Chain A
Amino acid sequence: MTNKKHLCLTLLCLAFIQAITTGCNDTFDDSSMLTCRLIIQPQFPDDINGESLTDAAVCVRNISTRIEEYYPATDEIFLTPGLYDITYTAHYTLPNGVTSTLRGSIHSVQVTGDNTLLKLKTYSSIDTDDLIISEIFFTGTLQSSGNQYYGDDYIKLYNNTDHVIYADGLTLFESKFTTVNKYDYSPDIMDEAVTVHALYTIPGNGNEHPVQPGEYIMLADNGIDNRILNPNSFDLRHANFEWYDVSTKPSHVDIDSPEVPNLDKWYCYTLSFWTLHNRGFKTYGIARIPIDKETYLKDYLYQYDYTIVVPAGTFPMTGSAYRLPNSWIVDVVNCSVQSEFQWILTSPRLDMGWTHCGTIDHDKSRYFHSVRRKALYLRPDGTPVLQDTNNSTEDFNPMCIPSEIEEQGSAIDVNGTPCTSLTYDGILPKPRK
């Protein structure tokens, strides 16, 4: 009898254990996936009637997986919970018959509840009728020893219009903040201005530096033949301007090329010399500042607070930089890398996206590459018309062979392999003359 009792007790325990272990679902399939409903309400500019729009579409990009999906803008969208970048595009026809594009973009939208209502502000493409940034070469080259070479970075501007534009007074700037570290800066001025810490202006009285339609001007770090210092680099003596800094550190001095005029330095944060961020974490742009240098430096200082939270604790911080009103800005390009990207440093009105060289921090494949604006088509005279939709993700070809390397046939890697290709934008082939 005792044995029977023990046997029953044991069997009961066994059954209980089995029930615990096998009571859950065996597996799952995608039909059981939790989904959330996203409803997008685009908000149009006052002069645009929503009913006149065509081809309205929404691109939803899951930040965790980087998978992009496209939906008609009229539908509600069912998504798995997560963080998304959402871009709205639509076309409309102006009274003169020209078709233009309406765009809106919001980054980092949390879709977690049953229903998420998203009000998305849209902007029509802005024609600034001015120069645009066509290329940024910020990564630099490598010496044959494998060490980085500083000094051959450059930015090219392009006249995308059908008339002459004077470059005089155009200011090149670099953002103070980086696209890879997001803090809640207070006060938040992003809707009105860009926070900058380097400003270099093209000198001139307004009529000294004409840029013909389809012409480039180049702003370089060192307007010298860089091949003397690094055989893997190239010649920049034909640059239109260079940025030159009088260094306060004897061990780190800048090179002042006698053959290339200097930009007028308004302000720069560094006490040595300025180079473009060679991993591409900054935002670069050009602006026309309607006031003089002294007034600007006096009246447009921006002081801000933010908080750093790290495992060691929480630290309140302060900082200062200059603010550049959005209305003065002619063109801007956000740069980052996929692995580190956290935010865009400008209002979506100026730039809705970002471009890159490399995909991770310290990416060894980034050297000898630049970002180049896409060519839409060629004019009858053979000059390209470049794409400018205020979305650097769409407008730029990332990780291209720089135009100077292509034109000079210089090295494309640390081994000194010469470049044999020639393109308008890093992709579209260009015939050699």
Chain B
Amino acid sequence: MRSKLILALLPLAIMVQGEIKTDSVGILHRLTLYDDAISALPQLLYENAAFMPDAHPVSLGNLHGEYLYRYGFLSALDTDPDRGLRQYSLSAEAYIHTGVHTVWGNAAYINGRQINRQWCECADYNMVYPYVQATPSGGDLHREQYTFGGGWAGPVSNRFSLGATLGYEAGIYYRRIDPRPRNVTGNLRLSFGAVMHTAPLFDIGMSFGFNRYTQSSDILFLSEMGHDPIYHLTGLGTHYARFDGLGSNMNYTGYTFSGALQLKYRQAYAAVTCSRLTMRDIIPSLNKLPIASLWQNTLRTEAGWSHRTGIHSLGTVLHFEASRRHGTENIFGDPAASVYPQIAALEMFADNRQSASMSLLYAVGDENLQLCIYPSARIYHHSQVYRSPLRRSSLTRMNLGMRLRGDAISGLFAHRFTIEGNVYIPTSNTWLMPITDQEPNISLDNIYRYYHKAQSSALQTITVTWRSACRILNNYALAMEAGWHYGHSAANNANFNVVQFSFKLYF
């Protein structure tokens, strides 16, 4: 599969290069202009594929090989319960302006290993939580991911532009010692967008998205002496006790429908996106027992403005996001003939998040030398509730950040240096958990208590990256990039480090 993927990427790159080489701007300048500070400011706007021609001012493609190593628990930022990550990836990306049309595409292969993943045997924790299968043992989890995607955007008349995207991600996650999970995931994404040019420099856009997510998770034990129990977690340290040790597999099927509106007037824009995810969790080995389901509504809004005069650029973005995820556990009667009749459904789990942020941008410089400054502030609130017996966790924290980016082109070389610092300041937190005196509740409570402590404690992070690209021939550049991301949490004085190296061939 890997060799086939690489063979598939090469002709894609050659084909794409054939289109891109006609661009009149040199490769090093395209490299800098591609993620130009002003163009990269909006995020939600480009979820409408019809706006994608504005995302990058120039065409660019790359072949990319990367190695990433993380040491340490990211619990202060993420809830995926691992203790580290090692992975490498090979990918190809292209974004092409061709006449009035714009096309883009990507393909990637990722191979890696999550280190010492605990109390979760499923993949994509953030997608399927809180209903995951878990064992007390855990261990390293190997992963292989395959990603393909692409899109098109272009005008269909003087007043209308259309755009569409299609993408698919497949993954396999496994372990070769007991417990042996084997998770296969698939994620199909489709979106369609339209923009109406109602007046000079005034655009209204509308887009729709569809996403189908599936995961089949099987756990196998080969030890003759027996095995650990499998728990079906239900959120905030709870588990479906009746099915402890039963059903070594779980199937997830989720659908996300989203709709978005965008407005753009000169250099100002506003966008709102709302989406609804519904997911069903089924244990196939118990006669397709529908053990739980969940839904999540998400609202994201963004408004921004930017202005460019001479060598100076100025911009600002306001972002607001709210999501509400509720989980429902199904209650079953006594099984007869191996069939569990459903007798009730109880909405037991809620996970609600809100965040608001404001970012500023100031950039100065020309195409050969540029410096950008991005200060930002964000406030984030996260609450989780399990209904009975009542468990509650909530926290609010502020995040102040500053990013500096410098670009310089000199002769055959282009350099980019980025440094970013963030400070997370907790402002409030609540923790309510009943006292338990038996396993696995003690271990599960400790895990969630740790997460809560990590996310409600002060955190400082710093990120430094350096990229140097060298022009070879006329339309190619070979680049090397290195990055280091460090975090220090006041919770247990925990640190994490992420280092990253990559080689890229730009064209």
A contacts, CB < 8 Å to B: 2-3, 6-7, 10, 13-14, 17-18, 20-22, 24, 26-30, 33-34, 63-67, 80-83, 107-108, 110, 112, 142, 146-148, 181-184, 306-311, 314, 337-340, 342-343, 358-367, 414
6 closest A-B pairs by beta carbon, nearest first, are A364-B226, A360-B245, A339-B245, A81-B344, A108-B334, A66-B241
Q: Tell yes or no: B335 within 8 A of A by CB.
A: yes
Docked CA distance A183–B298 (Å): 45
- A10 cross-chain contacts in B, Cβ below 8 A: 204, 261, 263
Q: Tell yes or no: B254 within 8 A of A by CB.
A: no
Docked CA distance A309–B333 (Å): 16
Q: Tell yes or no: B435 within 8 A of A by CB.
A: no
- B227 cross-chain contacts in A, Cβ below 8 A: 362, 364
Q: 16 additional contacts, CB 8 Å, given A18-B272, A340-B246, A359-B245?
A: A3-B199, A6-B198, A7-B263, A10-B204, A17-B272, A18-B274, A21-B324, A30-B388, A65-B242, A108-B333, A112-B343, A182-B336, A339-B245, A340-B245, A342-B334, A360-B230
Structural contact, B331 and A13, CB atoms closer than 8 A: no
Within 8 Å by CB of B229, from A14, A67, A82, A360, lies A360
Docked CA distance A18–B202 (Å): 23
Docked CA distance A18–B272 (Å): 9
Structural contact, B385 and A80, CB atoms closer than 8 A: no
- B246 cross-chain contacts in A, Cβ below 8 A: 339-340, 360-361
* Known contacts A24-B297, A27-B385, A309-B337; A362 and B226 CB within 8 A of each other: yes
**Chain A: CB-nearest residue to B354:** A26
Within 8 Å by CB of A146, from B199, B224, B322, lies B224
* Known contacts A33-B387, A364-B226; A80 and B272 CB within 8 A of each other: no
Structural contact, B245 and A17, CB atoms closer than 8 A: no
* Known contacts A10-B204, A18-B299, A339-B229; A308 and B343 CB within 8 A of each other: no
Within 8 Å by CB of A183, from B223, B238, B272, B336, lies B336
- B284 cross-chain contacts in A, Cβ below 8 A: 311
**Residues of B432-456 whose CB lies within 8 A of A:** none
B112, chain A: closest CB distance, angstroms: 31
Within 8 Å by CB of B243, from A22, A27, A339, lies A339
Binary contact track B316-327/A, C-beta < 8 Å → 1, others 0? 000000101000
- B8 cross-chain contacts in A, Cβ below 8 A: none
Structural contact, A22 and B299, CB atoms closer than 8 A: yes
- A27 cross-chain contacts in B, Cβ below 8 A: 350, 352, 383, 385
Q: Tell yes or no: B105 within 8 A of A by CB.
A: no
Structural contact, A30 and B343, CB atoms closer than 8 A: no
**Chain A: CB-nearest residue to B273:** A17
**Residues of B344-391 whose CB lies within 8 A of A:** 344, 346-347, 350, 352, 383, 385, 387-390
A-B contact pairs, 24 of them (CB 8 A): A2-B199, A10-B261, A14-B301, A21-B274, A26-B324, A27-B350, A28-B350, A28-B387, A29-B387, A29-B390, A65-B238, A80-B346, A82-B331, A83-B332, A142-B225, A147-B224, A183-B336, A314-B337, A340-B246, A342-B335, A343-B334, A360-B229, A363-B245, A364-B226
Structural contact, B287 and A14, CB atoms closer than 8 A: no
Docked CA distance A216–B39 (Å): 87
Docked CA distance A108–B343 (Å): 12
Docked CA distance A34–B334 (Å): 21
Q: Tell yes or no: B309 within 8 A of A by CB.
A: no
* Known contacts A24-B324, A64-B242; A17 and B331 CB within 8 A of each other: no
* Known contacts A20-B274, A337-B245, A364-B227; A34 and B202 CB within 8 A of each other: no
Within 8 Å by CB of B226, from A183, A339, A366, lies A366
Within 8 Å by CB of A184, from B224, B238, B259, B336, lies B336
- B80 cross-chain contacts in A, Cβ below 8 A: none
Docked CA distance A366–B298 (Å): 47
Docked CA distance A15–B244 (Å): 45
Structural contact, A364 and B223, CB atoms closer than 8 A: yes
Structural contact, B240 and A64, CB atoms closer than 8 A: yes
- B337 cross-chain contacts in A, Cβ below 8 A: 183-184, 306-309, 314
Q: Tell yes or no: B10 within 8 A of A by CB.
A: no
Structural contact, B387 and A308, CB atoms closer than 8 A: no
* Known contacts A10-B263, A184-B336, A309-B337; A365 and B226 CB within 8 A of each other: yes
Docked CA distance A396–B202 (Å): 79
* Known contacts A83-B332, A360-B245; A414 and B344 CB within 8 A of each other: no
Docked CA distance A31–B301 (Å): 33
Structural contact, A112 and B198, CB atoms closer than 8 A: no
- A6 cross-chain contacts in B, Cβ below 8 A: 198, 202, 204
* Known contacts A27-B385, A359-B245; A83 and B333 CB within 8 A of each other: yes
B250, chain A: closest CB distance, angstroms: 15
Binary contact track B403-442/A, C-beta < 8 Å → 1, others 0? 0000000000000000000000000000000000000000
* Known contacts A33-B388, A310-B287; A13 and B261 CB within 8 A of each other: yes
- B331 cross-chain contacts in A, Cβ below 8 A: 64, 81-83
B352, chain A: closest CB distance, angstroms: 6
* Known contacts A27-B383, A112-B343, A360-B244; A83 and B274 CB within 8 A of each other: no
Docked CA distance A10–B390 (Å): 42
Q: Tell yes or no: B127 within 8 A of A by CB.
A: no
Structural contact, B226 and A363, CB atoms closer than 8 A: yes
